[in-house]
Copies of this chain bind each other. A is one copy, B any other.
Amino acid sequence: MIDRLFKKLRVRDRLSETEERALREVIEGQDEIPAKQTMVKRGEPLDKSILLLEGMVCRYKDLRNGRRQISALHVPGDFLDLHGFTLKKLDHDVMTLSRCKVAYAGHKQLTTLTETFPHLTRMLWFTTNLDAAVHREWELSLGQRTGVARAAHLFCELYHRLKIVELVDGASFGFPVNQTELGECLGLTPVHTNRVLKELRERGLAQFKQATVTIGNLHELELLAEFEPSYLYLNSEPR
């Protein structure tokens, strides 16, 4: 299961056997967490980072009026809070969307690792910068794309990210959220999210049903979303 992390890294850079071993050594423990459970609360001091092995997780912030914005989604192979390694506490909450399997990397062990493996450190650093690149693309979506294009873009992004870790089945992938939570990713109300999904469905571009996305026409969907995968840094380059 931890292999998904290596798949993710190897899409972006070379990872030596030694580095893989070193990384394996700092990943320890294994937990199962039920769905819809807060894993990390904002502000609480952190001494380890969480690697997602199975399931899906979100990070979010909310306002006093109860409106919530999901700022990031995580798929297997992602660290949920590697940024917490340097931040030491989070500015947001982390919640499981589905039942999840996770493992841990202690900050102490990570510190040791970074003192011994500079290139591996850059790769880990890279993954936190990759999260930031996704944040920027979401800012573009939230600020400038219409609801339909936002949903289309999110589906394209997840398709590509899940493909890397081999969690796409044909044109379908699991996305364990309801329409309310999907709306919280998109900055839309549940009602409008429903209408946006209806449009994508009727145009034959994508379908969202029972926590599963089925892409009807990837090319058209990407056109509509103006999806440019370069922000996912899918080409291997030395870091």
Contact = CB atoms under 8 A, between A and B. Distances in A.
A169 interface: no
Interface in A47-98: 59, 61-64, 67-69, 71-72, 83, 85-89, 91-92
Q: How many copies of this chain does one complex carry?
A: 2
Tell me the interface secondary structure of chain A in the complex.
helix
Contacts of A136: 59, 61, 71-72, 91-92, 135
B114 A122 contact: yes
Contacts of A61: 136-137, 139-140
Interface of A: 42-43, 59, 61-64, 67-69, 71-72, 83, 85-89, 91-92, 111, 114-115, 118, 121-123, 125-126, 128-133, 135-140, 142-145, 186-187, 226, 230-231, 233, 237-239
A48 to B, nearest CB: 15
